[in-house]
Amino acid sequence: MSSATDAPTEELPADRFSDRELSWLAFNQRVLELAEDTTVPALERAKFLAIFASNLDEFYMVRVAGLKRRMAAGIAVQAASGLTPRELMKRVHDRTRTLQSQQAQAFRDLMPTLRDAGIQILRWRDLDVDEQKAMSQMFDEQIFAVLTPLAVDPAHPFPYISGLSLNLAVVVRNPNTGQEHFARVKVPPTLPRFVPLDGGEHFVPLEDVIAAHLGSLFPGMEVLQRHTFRVTRNEDVEVEEDEAENLLKALERELSRRRFGPPVRLEVEETIDPHVLELLSEELDIDRNEVVTLPWPLDLTGLFAISGLDRPEMLYPPFLPMTSPELSEVETSDAPEILEVMRSRDVLLHHPYDSFSTSVQAFLEEAADDPNVLAIKQTLYRTSGDSPIVHALINAAEAGKQVLVLVEIKARFDEQANIRWARKLEQAGCHVVYGVVGLKTHSKLSMVVRQDEDGVLRRYTHIGTGNYHPKTARLYEDLGLLTSSAAVGDDVSKLFNVLTGYSLTTDYQRLLVAPHSVRSGLIERIDREIDHHRQGRPATIRFKVNSIVDEQIIDALYRASQAGVSVDVLVRGICGIKAGVPGLSENIRVRSILGRFLEHSRIYWFENDGEPDVLIGSADLMHRNLDRRVEALVSIVGEQHVANLSAILDLSFDPRTASWHLMADGEWVRESQDDDGEPLADLQTELIALKRQSRRAPLR
């Protein structure tokens, strides 16, 4: 095959990449637009406000903190977008201020809708006398003892302000001396952010309740001022694995340091006294550019609790995942044995439309109980502490099976939890390893080795796009393949040997594995589509990813576009590619879909001269995925499964499906109505309906 990379294409311009950080902020703006959408149920809008706030917190803790750290160390370099570190930091701060102001307005706009439904967030001043008495009694009984007022004076240095904590800056005066003093009161994170009034659907912000009782905390003093503020700190974790004598212990030490990371953002109420703000800025050593002034209330992540109220009419219609048609019996009510089904055919799963508990979870539980199963090998990146997956692995080990679990203890913000249940697995007799030095193991793999009745030692595997996390499996859209294919089993065996031993295997039959072959394998397939197109043969590229920023992949797609190949990209989050730019990406269309489920699966679809070459797996198109993680993509070979994946992409890119469109100027435009003002179809609602229509009909 000729190399398409050697074929003449127009020179690629230097400004061909969108900035990663600004693109992420554009993604969070799309989340915010769902909170602003009056066609979205009201409590779901409250949840999207909380998601926006939580997303932005993490963005500052990791991305902004990392940029600030590199700038301070003098190692920050110009971004691929061409922005200098200082230019980028300024744009980030300006954009986040605008977005947080927009969020505050969305909160104000949502309150009347909630109030009309009987749900209210009330200020202390809005309460009547009886309600204030009830709150005062609650303060005395449940809140007062938890509070610790911390004075600031020559004998009491400025206290440490923990990251993401809500605080009251209090100014009091001694009536005897007339001297003013500053103190800080932390709003306890162990108590509800919005306190329910009489156990109903009226709530009072916890900081309001505390502020109304500051006299109890500073008896004899005059309370002059109180202002709410919040600090975000650098909470990323860095471990020098090459120098760590024990990765587990090194990570635990680093986690203990995380709490004391330097501040990267200070949020204050717009009513704050300038002198108090100056004191906070100086004591926290934070630049005024890092100060965000907002209207009340700060920290809208507390809306998660309110969005969970039992008000079905204010939520998305209930949806119960169904057992995959390929795993359900029509003739009887009994579910077939999953390993038996896998011996006869591959099973393609689409969560949450296909139940995780009756497929992947059942697969591992059945294997744990099967006396003919000899071994189970499993990767775990994130899972819940009470996960039935973990229990199944423990049961298998206690039953005498050989159980190997590769636990990725460096999964960001889940490190502490992962360490806990890694030790729990070890105590049960599982062999627990922590992967390859210098790489995160992000691949989603499970393999069961069984001595079958026909005398054959078979390997049953599951390869997925999402974590083995039963709770998020109900909220995240993901794909998975259950197969007893000998080729896949051989590939997965080799990969586990790489992860647990000293194998240097990079040759696989149906897998692409990062960091060795995912990028090169995808670029080879892109080049093949270019060749097909130039020869007049069918050629199309369609990707569904969470993020795309890898410059080599993007450049390959630009070359494909310049050669005339049709390219469609569905991206949920970060997007470094530009769409529809004359001479560069005229044949590239980029869409984004957000909704009740988090679009999380990755699909790489190539038309391949009428014989589609399709892969699914764990890898996004980012440097970290392609260079610093162990990722796995598996090719899908079943004709019906390829057709089902094609149908998902067809529906996603259908002009009649609501989505955001990336324009040539880099702006995202939401398309939710047709030319007649009628709402466009919601992808996830359509997929739910298709699942309910027929449990055996192909998705076409």
Closest by CA position to 18, among listed 521, 525, 585: 585
Closest by CA position to 300, among listed 164, 145, 152, 460: 164
Q: What is the pLDDT of residues 286-305, one digit of tens each?
A: 998 999 999 999 999 999 99
**505's tokens:** 């295997």
Spatial distance between the Cα atoms of 592 and 574, rounded to a whole number of angstroms: 10
Q: From the candidates 213, 442, 532, 533, which is the catalytic residue?
A: 442
Q: What is the pLDDT of residues 19-37, one digit of tens each?
A: 999 999 999 999 999 999 9
Least confident window among 253-262, 543-552, 599-608, 646-655: 253-262
Q: Is the pLDDT of residue 550 over 80?
A: yes
Least confident window among 6-15, 311-320, 650-659: 6-15
Supply the pLDDT for residue 69.
86
Q: What are phi and psi of 563, to 5 degrees?
A: -80, -10
- The residue that leads in pLDDT, 436 or 56, is 56
Average pLDDT (684-690) is 94
Least confident window among 99-108, 118-127, 385-394, 675-684: 385-394
Supply the pLDDT for residue 429.
87
Spatial distance between the Cα atoms of 119 and 46, rounded to a whole number of angstroms: 12
- The residue that leads in pLDDT, 414 or 605, is 605
CATH topology of domain 325-505: Endonuclease; Chain A (3.30.870)
Q: What is the pLDDT of residues 216-234, one digit of tens each?
A: 999 999 999 999 999 999 8
Amino acid in position 362: A
DSSP of 269-293: ETT--HHHHHHHHHHHT--GGGEEE
The CA distances from residue 115 to 295, 305, 645, in Å, are 19, 16, 43
Angle at CA of residue 469, ends 468 and 474, nearest 5°: 120
Spatial distance between the Cα atoms of 41 and 25, rounded to a whole number of angstroms: 24
Least confident window among 85-94, 151-160, 264-273, 477-486: 151-160
Map residue 502 onto helix, strand or coil. coil
Least confident window among 8-12, 182-186, 419-423, 603-607: 8-12
Contacting residues for 488 by C-beta, under 8 A, at least 6 apart = 461, 463, 481, 509, 510, 511, 634
CATH topology of domain 513-693: Endonuclease; Chain A (3.30.870)
Mean residue pLDDT of the chain comes to 90
Residue 508 in contact with residue 521, Cβ under 8 Å?
A: no
Supply the pLDDT for residue 255.
46
**446's tokens:** 């499970």
Q: Is the pLDDT of residue 700 over 70?
A: no
- All structural domains of the chain with their residue ranges: 42-314, 325-505, 513-693
Q: What is the pLDDT of residues 409-423, one digit of tens each?
A: 664 555 666 677 778
What dotted CATH number matches 42-314? 3.30.1840.10
Contacting residues for 486 by C-beta, under 8 A, at least 6 apart = 459
- Work out the percent of the chain whose per-residue pLDDT is above 70: 91
Active site includes 442? yes
User: Same CATH fold, 513-693 and 42-314?
Assistant: no
Q: Is the pLDDT of residue 320 over 60?
A: yes
Closest by CA position to 60, among listed 230, 265, 238, 242: 265
Residue reference for tokens 């509800």: 192
Residue 303 in contact with residue 50, Cβ under 8 Å?
A: yes
E strand residue ranges, 304-413: 347-351, 373-380, 402-407
The CA distances from residue 536 to 189, 314, 489, in Å, are 63, 53, 37
Average pLDDT (518-524) is 98
- Exposure string (b/e) for 479-505, b if CB count within 10 Å is 16 or more? bbbbbbbeebbbbbbbbbebbbeeeee
Q: What is the pLDDT of residues 325-359, one digit of tens each?
A: 888 764 444 556 899 999 999 999 999 999 999 99
Supply the pLDDT for residue 331.
43
